Every structure is written in structure tokens, then in C-alpha cells.
Amino acid sequence: MSVIRWDWVERHAGDIAGMLGQHVALTGLALLCGLIIAFPLALAAVRWPRLYSLSLVLTGILFTVPSLALFILLIPFTGLSMATSLIGLTIYTLLILFRNIVEGLRGVPRDVSEAARALGYTRGRRLIAVELPVALPVIVAGIRIAAVTTIGLVTVTALIGQGGLGQLFISGFTLHFTTPLLVGFVLSILLAVSVDLLLAGVLWWLTPWHRGRSA
Amino acid sequence: MKTAIRGVMLVAGCLFASRALAIGLDADGFGVVDQVVQWFADPTQWTGDNGLPHRIAQHLYYVAVSMAVAVSIALPVGIGLGHWGRGGLIAINLSNMGRAVPSFGLVILMFLLVGIGFLPVLVALVALAIPPMVTNSYVGMQAVDPSVRTAARALGLSGWQQLWQIELPIALPLVMAGVRTAAVQVLSTATLAAYVGLGGLGRYLIDGLAQQQLAQVVGGAIVVAVLAVLLEIGLGTLQKALTSPGLAR
């Protein structure tokens, strides 16, 4: 018996593409929601350092909770729905995104911010035109870790009726059939690696001043 | 101090969660909180093979065995590579590569390849626990100030003494950070492994989902969540106790 039955893969190509689509959608939405929450929180934390340690502890505790348990604790509110998956996945991105945005902004050299201020930049423009671009490598590093982590976690939501490629794990288990499992496994890893490389490429494109130096 | 803050946050989180659950109950008239309280209060919940004490002990056993195996592989490798400054590219990227592997898929893959039982799950858990520990211990060893190494040599310390008495204590916080990450991940994935027949606390979640018993599912999830946070706090305390007073901020 071969490990992969390609005829099965061919017959189910449409389903697999749909699951891959759901996987990408859940990951993208979770990252987007995570950024929308983490960004203002991070700006506040940079201004009020006490808020930083408090938020770190809170997001840290949420991050520690095992994924399946977190998804299940949301079921009483949102049921076995896509919202449950999305909220749970978003919660997992928060710690990584929040921490990296704060560390990135804190790592902006003081003289750079002050030079911008001396040039007459307002606080908002200074943030957008000077501090964020300087902090970008650290922020994107966080987005990369969050993206790869989320892609793995999406598969767990198969247990609560979502799951993207994780549904293939369930089929593999219930049918005792390695083909769907391996297809899901390999595609999930490939997706994680390509998203990681894509984000690295985006960073390279956004930060021309870093090019040519050793990373 | 930080532990105290964490403790307070934990209690506050539980209070918030119970409050939030109560709102959830009002919304759809489910009585989830009552059911979960009853589930915990049921005397049969506290005895026998499906009782909480037995399930918690089982779960901690899986975590302990997996971590013992993983630590005895990952720490020597990571510390050795960091000490001699070899294989940095692999050591640093190992945790990134590990992160891309879906743990749920790995558990089912091992089950399909090897069969039912603790052994296939153990292999999966160990494989998941190794990368973060190798990377962190490598980075921790590399972060040791070269002038400190030189000073140690100048004081006449042998290679081993230098490693044990100087470099390891300095690298310890990062090494332990890797151990904590791995331990929490192993605890989490051991929960998923109930899907392929493993015992432990995951049984409540997986069986409860299959039988649509919300009280059991939510009750089990609460226990797993609290256990994970306690493990993290416990390892943090251990790290603080092991850290040389000279390094404490």
C-alpha cells in the first residue's frame, strides 16, 4: 500500500481547495482582528509602562490556556460557529503582536524621535512617518510568528466543526487513512512556510534602507 | 512580586470568566454555570478512573515523561551547540520550523503510523517540545558576554568549570524560558491526544464534545486551563529560585 493515494487527492481536489481557502481566511481574519486590538493597546502601553506589564500578564495567561480548552470555553457564548474559532485564534495572536509592537516602538532610538520632533512633526505624524517604519522589522517579526502559530492552531478548530485543513486530519483519523492526513499536514506546513516567506518579502520591500546589510 | 500579580490576575480572570459565563447563560437560558458547578460538585467526579484526581494525575504524568525525554535530548544539544558556537543557523531556526508543524496533525499521524497508546503520542509530544528548548538554550549560551568567558579562563577555570559555573548560570533564564514554552505546549497537545485515545484531562473535552455534554466539556476545559497556568507559574517560580542572585535585577 502506498502512503499517498493520488487518485483520492485528485477526486477531492475541490474539497481540499475549499478547506485551504477557509484556512487562509481564518488565519487572515484572526491576524487582522489581532492587529486591530493589539495596536491601540500597544500605543497605550508605550505611553503608560504600567499598563504594559499588566497587559503582558493578561495576554500571557490567555496564551497559556490550551487551545482546545480556550475554544471550548467560548462555546457557551458563540456555539460551534466560525465566530468561536475566530475569537479564539485572535486571542492567541494578541500576546505575540502586542509584545512585538511595544518592543518595536520602544526600540526606536530616542534621538530619532527627538530629531523628528525638532523638525516640527506632530505626535501622530511622528508615529506614522518615523517611529512605525523604524519599528517595522520587530513588528513584522511578531506578525510572522503569530501567522505561523495561527496556521497550526486553525487545525485544532476542526474539533469544534471548523478547522480548514484540520478537517483532513479528522477524515484521516475516522477513515484510518493516511492520504487525507498527509495532504492536510503537508499543505498546512507549506502554507505556514509560504506565509512566513511572504511576510519576510513584504518587510524587505517596505524597508529599503535595511537592504544590503546583513540581517 | 510578579508571581503575586499573576496570582491576582488568575483569580480575577476566573471571576471574570464565571461572570461572563453567567451572562452567556442569561442569553440562551442554558444554565451552563449551574451545570458546570454540579459537574464539579458530583461526588463521583472525584473518585475512580474517570474522576478528576486520576485524570489530572494521568495528564501530569504524560507531561512529566514527555518533558523528561525532551529535556534530556534538547538541553544538551542546545547548550552544547551554544557553548561551542556550532550549528547556529539550525539551532536558531529550529523553533520556527517546529512552529509550522501542526501539533494536532502530528499526533494523528503518529497514531496512524504506530497505533493506539502512549508511545506514539509520546513521540509526537517529544518532537514538539524539542525545538523551542534547543533554540532558547542555544541563544542563551550565545548571549554570554565573551569578556566573561575570557575572565573565567583567566581565572584558571577548565572548560567544564567554565560551562557549569559561568555560562550555564548566565544562560539559565533563557534556557528555562524554552522549557516553559515547551511544557505548556506539551500540556496543551496532550489534551488534543485524547482524540486518538489517550487518557488524561483531554478525555473530558473530547468525550464531552462527542456526547454533547456541555457541562463536562466546559468543566474539563476549566481544569486544563488552570493546570496550564499553574504549570507556567510553577516553572517561573522554579526559574527564579534557580537564577543566581547576582543576575537578578
Q: CB B188 to CB A67 under 8 A?
A: yes
Quote the ipTM score: 0.91
Residues B35 and B112 in one domain: no
Residue A215 belongs to some domain of the structure: no
Residues B27 and B95 in one domain: no
Q: CB A152 to CB B102 under 8 A?
A: yes
Q: Hey, which residues 143-172 in chain A have their CB within 8 Å of chain B?
A: 145, 148-149, 151-152, 155-156, 158-160, 165-166, 169, 172
Residue B212 belongs to some domain of the structure: yes
Residue B49 belongs to some domain of the structure: no
Residue ranges making up the domain that contains A101: 6-208
pTM above 0.95, yes or no: no
Whether B235 and B2 have beta carbons less than 8 Å apart is answered as no
Q: Give the mean pLDDT of chain B.
A: 88
- Shortest Cα distance, chain B CAs vs residue A118, angstroms: 35
Contacting residues of A for B100, CB less than 8 Å apart: 148, 151-152, 188-189, 192-193, 196
CA distances to A89, A97, A139, B132 from A56, in Å: 17, 11, 16, 20
Write the residue in A64, A159, A172 that is nearest to B209 by C-beta. Answer: A159
Residue range B111-148, pLDDT digits in tens = 999 999 999 999 999 999 999 999 999 999 998 999 99
Residue A18, C-alpha cell as written in the block: 475549499
Residues B18 and B110 in one domain: no
Residue A214 belongs to some domain of the structure: no
Residues B164-184 as b or e (16 or more Cβ within 10 Å = b): eebbbebbbbbbbbbbbbbbb
Residues B127 and B6 in one domain: no
Residue B196 CB coordination number (10 Å): 22
Query: For chain B, how many structural domains are there in total?
Result: 2
Quick one: average pLDDT of A141-165?
Answer: 95
- Shortest Cα distance, chain B CAs vs residue A115, angstroms: 32
Residues B229 and B149 in one domain: yes
d(CA A155, CA A173): 13
Per-residue pLDDT, B3: 59
Q: CB B105 to CB A184 under 8 A?
A: yes
Residues B117 and B153 in one domain: yes
Q: CB A69 to CB B196 under 8 A?
A: no
Residue range A12-68, pLDDT digits in tens = 999 999 999 999 999 999 999 999 999 999 999 999 999 999 999 999 999 999 999
Whether A89 and A148 have beta carbons less than 8 Å apart is answered as no
Residue B117 belongs to some domain of the structure: yes
Residue B229 belongs to some domain of the structure: yes
pLDDT above 80: residue B19 = no
Residues B199 and B102 in one domain: yes
Per-residue pLDDT, A30: 97
Residue B247 belongs to some domain of the structure: no
Residue B47 belongs to some domain of the structure: no
Which region holds residue A79: left if phi is over 0, alpha if psi is between -120 and 50, else beta? left
CATH number, domain with residue A71: 1.10.3720.10
Residues B176 and B123 in one domain: yes
Write the residue in B6, B205, B206 that is nearest to A57 by C-beta. Answer: B6
Residue A1 belongs to some domain of the structure: no
Residue ranges making up the domain that contains B34: 1-42
Residues B36 and B97 in one domain: no
Query: For chain A, how many structural domains are there in total?
Result: 1
Residue A185, C-alpha cell as written in the block: 499536514
CA A200 and chain centroid, separation = 14
Whether B56 and B223 have beta carbons less than 8 Å apart is answered as yes
Report how many Cβ contacts below 8 Å link chain A to chain B: 140
A73 inside 8 A of chain B by CB: yes
Q: Sign (positive/negative) of CA torsion B184, B186, B192, B197?
A: negative
Whether A112 and B63 have beta carbons less than 8 Å apart is answered as no
d(CA A66, CA A103): 25
Residue A213 belongs to some domain of the structure: no
CA A172 and chain centroid, separation = 26
